Each structure stands twice: as C-alpha cells, then as structure tokens.
Structure 1
Amino acid sequence: MRPDWDGFVNYVRQRKVWMAPVLDMAAGAREEGGELVVRYDDLSDCKLLEEPENSRLLTEFAQDYFQQELTIRLRIRGGGTLAVDGEGVPQEERRALANDPLVQTVVELFNGDIAGIRTANK
C-alpha cells in the first residue's frame, strides 16, 4: 500500500497542510476489511488525529481518496488500537455506552431510541 499511502498523504497535504506530517510519522498503513489501519510507534505521534474535527476530516479524506467506505484505526506499537469514527470518539467507547445497563433502562423507561452518543473529550 506504500504507493497509495504516499499518494494519500499528498492528497491530504493539499487539503490540510499540517495533517500530512502527522501521517508521514506513521510506521505503516494498510487496508483491512473496510478499515484503514495506520500504525504509529508512539501515541504522541498521532494524538492530534484523535480530536473530533481532525478524525472526521481524516475519515472524509480517506473515503474520498480511496473511493470506498473506510473507518480509521490507529494502531500503537506495543499497545492498543483506537477505532476512530467520523466524530473522533473511539467506537468501542460509544458501543460500551450504548450497552450500559443504565442507558438501556432509561431507553426502556421512556420507550425511546438511542439516536447519538456524545462523550466528553479527555
């Protein structure tokens, strides 16, 4: 994926100049079943990409450039991964909140639906 990755970084550089050097710090990237997995050696290298507006833009850029529905997953060496949705909040955190027993009780009590989950940025 290296030639595609280089082209993608150049595509991003034309739209958000500051984001390209952050992507250049990636140790590698590949597409895995609808996810663009971007590997970093250190969490601090990709911290800016976790911010909601930045991750939304990155997802949008990836979908535009690769012409497919992609989600972004940041993989950190020696540790975890962060699946970033278009709003920058890890998908696992949203899923956990949606399945929380208290949330489910409130949904049942008010005969409602979960339309969107917002979390506080840390």
Structure 2
Amino acid sequence: MDIPLQGYRRRGAPFNITVEASLDGTVGEPQIRNSIWVGSTTLHPPVKMEPAAADRLLKAAGYHGINTYVTLRQPNAAAFTPNPLYIFDQITPAGRGYVGIDTVTGEVAPIV
C-alpha cells in the first residue's frame, strides 16, 4: 500500500514522499518526488490520525472493497475540506472508486 506524505517543503520547493507500507507494519524505503498533486496544497504535520485508524473508520462506514493504496493529501480548501484526508481506492464488483476520511473529524465520504 502506498502512503504518500505530500506537500512538505524541502529547500523551499514542494515535494511528496511515497512510502510502500502495509497495515501489518511492513514499511519500504521512502521515494521523494519534486512535485505535489494538482488540487492539493502543503500538508502541515502533525497529522492527527494514523492510516490504520482511517482504515477502521472506512470499514465501519461499510466500505469493504479491496484497497490497493491510500494517499494522505491536503486538498485545496475550496475543493473538499480544510483538513487533510486519507484517500482510499476501493475495488468492488461494481468498479473502482475513492473514499476520503477526514483526519480531524473522522468523516467518511465518497469522492466523486
């Protein structure tokens, strides 16, 4: 599962860090990319929720599809929420979709 920590600043330039990880605690080497995703802004640590807690909220909200990755992003406030989101992909028999978990409020909602 990839957990990109994006938007931190290094030498004044935005960048993101991708870490291969799994919920069982296996973590790979970080990969740094000198950019952030469109529609995102700088992520300011600390993040108030761990990925495993977000996964529990996802399952409690009834999302039981297969997840191949989770992304931690700080969306532009006008787009979604002023809080960072864990964004899970969901693969179900109906297709692929995305679900966001607000790291401050714990709100779980599909991203369309």
* Alignment TM-score, normalising by the size of structure 2: 0.27
Larger Rg: 1
Identify, as 1 or 2, the structure richer in strand. Answer: 2
Q: Which structure is higher in RCO with an 8 Å CA cutoff and minimum separation 6?
A: 2
